[in-house]
Amino acid sequence: MIGGTELSNLHYLFHHDYYCNPAKSNEVLTRQSFQASASEIPFAEQSFVLKTQYPGLLLGLGYPHDDGSGSSEAVKLGCSLDYVSGLPVIPGSTVKGVLRSLFKRKEAHEYIQALAEKDLDIDALEKELFTEDGEDVFFDAYPVTPGQLLAFESITPHDEKGLKNPIPIKLLKVRPGVEFLFRFRLKNEEGQQLSVDEKLKLFEALLMITGIGAKTNVGFGGLEPGAERGQR
């Protein structure tokens, strides 16, 4: 799944070797070239592809990543990178959590009904789709776009003193235009309100509405339709 001239496991680099030379590590992180193929990502029965929009996608900012050195070159917030491949990854638990959060918002219930084009019991549907007793499985989402996937972004936190001497914070983000394969194993159990195809269509529509990852309130994490599986 991964190829390139300067091949390095970016998870290991970011979490182990990074602070030996932050400037060099930053160069490798953003210049690493991947060759990702959807056909090489197993263990899913249903899937769709969504593409990141400008300004990109922020993943795993809450993960610790700071040696306390105060280096202006260093990335001080985390990033979600797969332990084995080094690819940026959207955990299945994040996908499930984002989708379930909409079902918990009463103001979104009417919209879910409209998207599903059915008269639904939303509270019951939430239990069908997201409880631990349910049969549906949400897998990690991986990029299927070849090339350079990561870039840097800066944010400037403000406090009660306003804009006086703000210090930008460097972040690692997934670039705009990167396609992710969202994967599921969905069941069509007797008595459920939605079929497998209806669930998949609803999940895709909801993710494009809400986005995913951090800082969605300021534009990050927006998603749009990607290429069909056989057309990339």
Residue 70 lies in a domain: yes
Q: CA–CA separation, 3 vs 12, rounded Å?
A: 16
Q: Is there a domain that residue 229 lies in?
A: no
CA 217/CA 138 separation, integer angstroms: 24
- At 150 the three-state DSSP class reads strand
- 215 phi-psi bin (left φ>0, alpha ψ -120 to 50, beta other): left
- Phi–psi pair at 154, nearest 5 degrees: -125, 140
Q: Give the DSSP H/E element, type plus range, for residue 46.
A: strand 46-52
Domain membership of residue 138 (yes or no) is yes
Q: Tell me whether residue 147 is in a domain.
A: yes
The string of pLDDT tens digits covering residues 13-22 is 998 888 888 8
Q: Domain for residue 81, yes or no?
A: yes
pLDDT of 199 above 90: yes
Number of domains in the chain: 1
Would 226 be classed as within a structural domain? no
- Do the domain assignments include residue 62? yes
- Whole-model pTM: value is 0.88
pLDDT tens profile 103-127: 999 888 998 999 998 899 999 999 9
Q: Is residue 183 part of a domain?
A: yes
Determine the pLDDT at residue 191: 83
Q: What is the mean predicted confidence (pLDDT) over 173-177?
A: 97
Segments forming the whole domain that contains residue 53? 10-220
Q: Give the model confidence (pLDDT) of 68-103 as tens digits.
A: 666 777 898 899 999 988 999 999 999 999 999 999
